[in-house]
Amino acid sequence: MTDSWLDNLPEEILLEIFDYCDVIDLLQISQVYERFNEIILYIINNRSIVTNQVSTNFRKICNPILSYDNKCIVSYNWQSGKYKPNYIKYNEETVMPWLQMTKDVLWWCGGKNFVGIERKDQLTQNNWNESLFSHNLKYSLHLMSKGFSKFVLCDNFIISGHSDGSIICWSDTLSETGPRLRIKKSLKNVHSSYIYAIDATSRNVISASDNTIRVSISTLAEQSANDYSTSGNCIDIKDTVQSLAIDPMGTKFAVGSGGWTDFPPLHIIDINTQYMNSSMVREWKHGAQWYVNGILDMVWDNPHTLLTCGCDSNIRKWDLRAGKCVSTWEDPDRATVYCISSDYQYTMITGMEYSEKAVLWDQRQRNSVQVYYLNPKLASRQRSNPIYSLRFDSSHLYCATDKKLVELNFSDQNNN
């Protein structure tokens, strides 16, 4: 009978069994037997959602890097919905926000304003009348003539798209009053109107307005700060672009559109040749059913895997090697999924249409893991209060609505 004992099972079988256990169960099991402890240590360090910190790209934005003991506590908080909400910013006017994040700075734009906030403890306002997180504000810009749409962090630069179709490259400089952003390049007339999406590498800047995508050669290495009109190849996709993202290798990019036409809303385009791959297999709905198709946000998990979300209430995982959607996760409320962020391993977090709600997903499971409300009072109300942009690391989730920017902190051992 001893051959049938649990501790005699192969390691790969035990890994599958332990994947069904939550953090508390794993900690209890780890105290039973030394072999179990070794396997569970591996699971918590490498296979747990949010806190695994396996991906190099994800670790670059994590503040802090978690120890084994902290991983257990923080992972439990994420999965149990235990967090401390901190209100970072409140807008008097309604804006369409966009977030990016590094290990040290959270970047936000909305309307004509752009700010960089140091990621420190107490990243919050004590009340709405307090000056804008003055103790954490590191960078602040206000443009008089045009608004920010979206921006991307590229090397040591920030590249922003604007409401008048221009693109500005900003660099970080030191002045007598501290760090500040200055214009390194100003690209006029890139597009004739509002830039809906932008991404960049050290070699290319790719932007989109309406149905036109422009692939421009990057000139960030040049020292001149003079304005100039940009050139570059234009691609017409016959539908309004909603999102785009360059793959981790910098050789191709994905484009998501609104689905207003018979043109498929997802394409993969080669940067050098501008060849448009239309072979992603899925039966798209057309015409009056445009709202079923629109792709609002996307993120590359790796060079072969793309995650998308949008108006059809689904997260979709696309495998370019198979040329099709290989996994789907559906929101039970049939709400629009406005934004998505990933740890490039198992974890996905989405911003939803209703009730200022963010949802935690594990790619190994069919259903969501946990739901987080920026304002718990809205939890029972099916009202349109979307989270338009979000970013996270192993301990924090940052969410932006049209009125506010909120941090959810999962690192506190005393979270209720």
Q: What is the pLDDT of residues 363-406, one digit of tens each?
A: 999 999 999 999 888 887 778 899 999 999 999 999 999 999 99
CA angle (19, 22, 27) in 5-degree steps:
100
Average pLDDT of span 176-187: 81
State residue 83's pLDDT score: 95
Q: Name the 3-class secondary structure at 87.
A: strand
From the candidate CATH numbers 2.130.10.10, 3.40.50.2020, 3.40.630.10, 2.170.190.11, the one assigned to the domain spanning 72-142+237-409: 2.130.10.10
What single string gives the DSSP state of each residue in 25-42?
HHHHHHTT-HHHHHHHHH
Which residues pair with residue 319 across a beta bridge?
A: 305, 324
Beta strands at 105-110 and 370-373: parallel, antiparallel or unpaired = unpaired
CA separation for the pair 132, 350 (Å, rounded): 27
Q: What is 284-306 written as a DSSP string? A: ---GGGHHHH-EEEEEEEETTEE
Instruction: Count CB-CB contacts under 10 A for residue 138.
Output: 20
pLDDT tens per residue, range 279-334: 576 666 554 444 567 999 999 999 999 999 999 999 999 999 999 999 999 998 89
Beta bridge partners of 244: 255
In the chain, the N- to C-terminal Cα span, in Å, equals 45
Task: Among 86-90, 102-106, 358-362, name the one with the lowest average pLDDT.
Answer: 86-90
Residue 225's pLDDT band, with cuts at 50, 70 and 90, is very low
Percentage of the residues of the chain whose pLDDT score is greater than 70: 87
- Reading phi first (left if > 0) and then psi (alpha if -120 to 50, else beta), residue 200 is in beta
Are 54 and 94 contacting, i.e. CB atoms less than 8 angstroms apart? no
The full set of domain ranges for the chain reads 1-47, 72-142+237-409
Name residues whose C-beta falls within 8 Å of residue 391's C-beta, 6 or more positions apart in sequence: 61, 99, 100, 101, 106, 341, 397, 398
Nearest to 392 by CA among 62, 78, 84, 120: 62
- Backbone φ/ψ region at 109: left (φ over 0), alpha (ψ -120 to 50), beta: beta
The structure tokens listed for 290 are 């445009």
Checking if the pLDDT of 82 tops 70, the result is yes
* Distance separating alpha carbons of residues 412 and 77, to the nearest angstrom: 8
Return the structure tokens found at 2.
């001893």
H or E element at residue 48: none
- In our burial notation (b when 16+ CB lie closer than 10 A, e otherwise), range 365-378 reads eeebbbebbbbeee
Q: Which of 71, 57, 107, 99 is nearest to 343 (CA)?
A: 57
Q: How many CB atoms lie within 10 A of CB 223?
A: 5
Q: Give the pLDDT of residue 26.
A: 81
State what percent of residues in the chain have pLDDT above 90: 58
Q: What residues pair up with 300 in beta bridges, in sequence order? A: 306
Q: Is the pLDDT of residue 179 over 90?
A: no
pLDDT at 261: 81
Cα dihedral across residues 385, 386, 390, 394: positive or negative: positive
The closest alpha carbon to 42, from 66, 82, 20, 11, belongs to: 11
Collapse the DSSP code of 119 into the 3-class scheme (helix H, G, I; strand E, B; otherwise coil) and give the result.
coil
